[in-house]
Amino acid sequence: MPKSKRYKLLQDINSVSFAALELTLFLDTHPDDRAMWEQRKTYLKERECLIAEYEDRYGPLTQNSPGDFPWNWIDEPWPWEMTPGGDD
């Protein structure tokens, strides 16, 4: 089954978020490593772009996203209902 655009976009957000998190943990114990600090900033910028694209297409990703009116934070699917396939 081909993956939906939505699913692929979430995978990309997951990848870059995980990379950033891994560097967050690394920096917790290596606070003076400038190269990793820069690398993390690059990941975070990329993450921001991907999230903006996702929210534009599919609605809010976090509680603090503005979302649409009427309130679309309540829209399904929730994360535990997400499947790889689909039309969007």
Partner 1 sequence: MWIYEKRLQKQVSVDGKNPKLAEYILTQFGGPDGELSAAIRYLTQRYTMPTGYTKALLTDIGTEELAHWEMIATMVYQLTDGLDPEAYKQMDMAKKYAQRGPAVFPTDSEGNPWTAAYIQAHGNDPVANLQEDLAAESKARATYENLLDLSDDEKLNRGLRFLREREVVHFQRFGEALNQIQEEKHQRRVFY
Residues lying near partner 1 in the complex (CB under 8 A): 17, 62-63, 73-76, 78-80
Looking up tokens 């399904």 gives: 76
Looking up tokens 């891994």 gives: 22
Tell me how far, at minimum, the Cβ of 72 lies from partner 1, in Å: 9
Nearer to partner 1 among residue 29 and residue 62 (C-beta): 62
Alpha helices in the chain (DSSP H): 5-29, 34-58
Nearer to partner 1 among residue 49 and residue 74 (C-beta): 74
Tell me how far, at minimum, the Cβ of 13 lies from partner 1, in Å: 9
- Assess whether the previous peptide bond of 77 is cis (omega < 30° from 0): yes
The rounded distance, in Å, linking the Cα atoms of 2 and 59 is 22
Nearer to partner 1 among residue 2 and residue 78 (C-beta): 78
